[in-house]
Amino acid sequence: MTDVLKDAGAQGVARLFTGRTVLADGAMGTMLYARGVFINRSYDELNLSQPDTVRAIHAEYLQAGAEIIETNTFGANVFRLEHHGLQDKVRAINVAGVKLAREAVNQLRDKQAAEAFVAGSIGPLGVRVEPLGKLSLDEAREAFSEQIRALVEGGPGVGADLLIIETMTSLAEVEQAILAARSEAPDVPVIVMVTVDEDGNCLDGSSAETAATKLTDWGVDALGCNCSAGPATVLSVIERMRPVTDLPLAAMPNAGIPRAVEGRTIYMSSPEYMASFARKLVKAGASIVGGCCGTTPSYTRAMKSSLRAMDAMETGARAVEHAVATGTPQKIESKIEPAPLAQRSKIGAMVAAGEFVSMVEIVPPKGIDCTKEIDGAAYLHKLGVDAINVPDSPRASARMSAQSLCVQIQQHVGIETILHYTCRDRNVLSIQSDLLGASSIGLKNILCLTGDPPKLGNYPDATAVFDVDAIGLVNIVRNLNHGLDIGKNSIGASTGFTVAVAANPGVPDIEQEIRRFAYKVEAGAEYAITQPVFDLKLLEEFLKRIEGFRIPVIAGIWPLTSLRNAEFMKNDLRVSMPEEIMARMAAVTSPEAAKAEGIKIAQEMLAEVRPVVQGVQVSAPFGKYSAAADVLGLTVEVA
Report how far residue 513's alpha carbon sits from residue 507's, in angstroms, rounded to the nearest whole number: 7
Given this model, what pLDDT does residue 268 score? 52
Residue numbers belonging to the annotated binding site for Zn(2+) = 227, 292-293
Three-state secondary structure string covering 502-529: EECCCCCCHHHHHHHHHHHHHHCCCEEE
Given this model, what pLDDT does residue 175 score? 95
Average pLDDT, consecutive stretches of 10 residues, N- to C-terminus, the chain (639 residues): 37 78 90 85 93 94 92 95 94 96 87 81 90 84 96 91 94 95 94 89 87 95 88 89 94 72 51 80 90 88 78 44 44 71 94 94 90 93 93 72 92 94 80 91 92 53 61 88 83 92 87 87 92 90 91 92 85 81 91 91 92 92 87 66
| Pick from 605, 561, 24: nearest CA to 307 | 24
Convert the pLDDT of each residue in 402-457 to its tens digit. Answer: 899 999 999 999 999 999 998 877 777 888 899 999 999 999 999 998 876 654 44
Report how far residue 196's alpha carbon sits from residue 44's, in angstroms, rounded to the nearest whole number: 24
From residue 528, give the alpha-carbon distance in Å to each of 42, 254, 445, 466, 505.
52, 43, 12, 21, 11
Given this model, what pLDDT does residue 326 score? 45
Do residues 416 and 410 lie in contact, with contact meaning Cβ atoms separated by under 8 Å?
yes
Three-class SS state of 422: strand
Residue numbers belonging to the annotated binding site = 227, 292-293
Mean pLDDT estimate for the chain: 85
Report how far residue 107's alpha carbon sits from residue 112's, in angstroms, rounded to the nearest whole number: 8
Convert the pLDDT of each residue in 383-406 to its tens digit. Answer: 999 999 998 876 556 788 889 999
Convert the pLDDT of each residue in 66-92 to its tens digit. Answer: 999 999 999 999 999 999 999 999 999
Report how far residue 166's alpha carbon sits from residue 147's, in angstroms, rounded to the nearest whole number: 14
- Antiparallel, parallel or unpaired: β 22-23 and 286-289: parallel
Domains of the chain and CATH, by start? 12-315 (3.20.20.330), 341-559+612-632 (3.20.20.220)
> What phi and psi values does residue 454 have, to the nearest 5 degrees?
-55, -30
User: Dihedral of CA 278/283/288/292: which sign?
Assistant: negative
Q: What is this structure's pTM?
A: 0.51
